[in-house]
Amino acid sequence: MTEHAIVADGLTKRYAEELAVDDLSLSISTGSVYGFLGPNGAGKTTTMRMLTTLTMPTSGSATVAGVDITDRPAITERIGYLPADPPVFDELTGREQLQYVARLHELGNVDARIEELLARFDLADAADRRIAGYSTGMCKKVGVIGAILHEPEVVLMDEPTSGLDPRAARTMRDTLADLAERDMTVFLSTHILPVVDELADTVGVIDDGRLVAEGTPAELKRRAESAESADLETAFLEVTRKDEAGAAEPAGMGNGE
Ligand SMILES: Nc1ncnc2c1ncn2[C@@H]1O[C@H](COP(=O)(O)OP(=O)(O)OP(=O)(O)O)[C@@H](O)[C@H]1O
């Protein structure tokens, strides 16, 4: 196992005039939970899509689980990805969808693990109904189970708790904590800051495609100007605050000193 589960070096993605991700470098320790925050349109999904081989960087490089992101087959085996809208087939049942995922990963018989995960996410009763009749949250749960079924080394999740009711969101947070306990690296993008505050070892804040702050949740809170009562939301608002020219101020970037 490599010391760093995710390493990005100058990762950049340009869409025509839009510089979606700008010279992003990351070094994320194996077994840690990394909370990736940023305003709408900051470049979070684009970053995750590059790290999961779904889109090619314009320049820069990265490895995930020790594999270069140009090696799609090897990466696919080692990572799990939950996009904001999980890719599920409406015509399948939840159980069939997960059996399909198991076949894609050539997992052999994982029926017991599927049952256990369905039960954990309170989906056992719906497992034999077609996904077409599922709610948004139920689809999300199937997507989550599909992303972790093959016990990947690194799991990247885009808004894993959005659309989940409070009990399911709790289960999701417990599951993510449990995965990290088992040395899986979790890269988590969300707008729900308490989730990051609770789970993340390190937080990175991206704004206009650039990493504008990075540190532990406690460090980011300490660096907020109103440090006395600062929470992660205050810290987030400060590091993503725009100056008059509209550029993010580089406040808060550093090594915590
Ligand atoms: N396929 C694409 N073609 C052109 N522009 C794109 C494409 N995908 C993303 N962008 C642009 O890149 C920028 C970053 O988008 P991205 O989806 O990565 O942001 P995000 O941080 O995930 O936002 P949100 O929090 O709203 O999901 C945005 O300006 C977006 O319009």
Classified as helix, coil or strand, 104 is helix
Is the four-CA dihedral 18, 244, 39, 220 of positive or negative sign? positive
Asked if the structure places residue 135 within a domain, the reply is no
Q: Is 244 contained in some domain?
A: no
Answer whether 20 contacts ligand 1 (Cβ < 6 A). yes
Q: Identify the DSSP state of 135.
A: -
Instruction: Answer for the pair 50, 13: CB distance below 8 angstroms, yes or no.
Output: yes
Asked whether residue 18 is assigned to any structural domain, the reply reads yes
Instruction: Give the nearest ligand 1 atom to 206 CA.
Output: 21
Q: Is residue 102 included in any domain, yes or no?
A: no
Domain that holds residue 169: 4-86+153-239
Region 244-249 average pLDDT: 52
Domain total for the chain? Answer: 1
With a cut of 70, say whether residue 249 has pLDDT above it: no
208: nearest Cα among 26, 44, 49, 51: 44
CATH number, domain containing residue 233 = 3.40.50.300
Asked whether residue 94 is assigned to any structural domain, the reply reads no
pLDDT in tens, 123-135: 999 999 999 999 9
pLDDT of residue 162: 85
**Number of Cβ within a 10 Å radius of residue 126:** 20
Closest residue by Cα to residue 205 from 36, 6, 29:
36
Atom of ligand 1 nearest to the CA of 47: 18
Residue 251 has pLDDT above 70, yes or no: no
User: Is ligand 1 within 6 A of the CB of residue 56?
Assistant: no
The reply to whether ligand 1 has any atom less than 6 angstroms from the CB of 40 is: yes
* Three-class DSSP category at 52: coil
136-140's contacts with Cβ under 8 Å and 24+ in sequence apart are 136/163, 137/163, 137/164, 137/165, 137/168, 138/94, 139/86, 139/88, 140/82, 140/86, 140/164
pLDDT one-digit tens code per residue, 38-96: 999 999 999 999 999 999 999 999 999 999 999 999 999 999 999 999 989 999 999 99
Chain segment 137-170, per-residue pLDDT in tens: 899 999 999 999 999 999 999 998 888 888 888 8
Residue 116 in any domain: the answer is no
For residue 210, pLDDT over 70 is answered with: yes
> 184 lies in a domain?
yes
Please check whether residue 211 lies inside any domain of the structure. yes
Residues 27-32 have a mean pLDDT of: 94
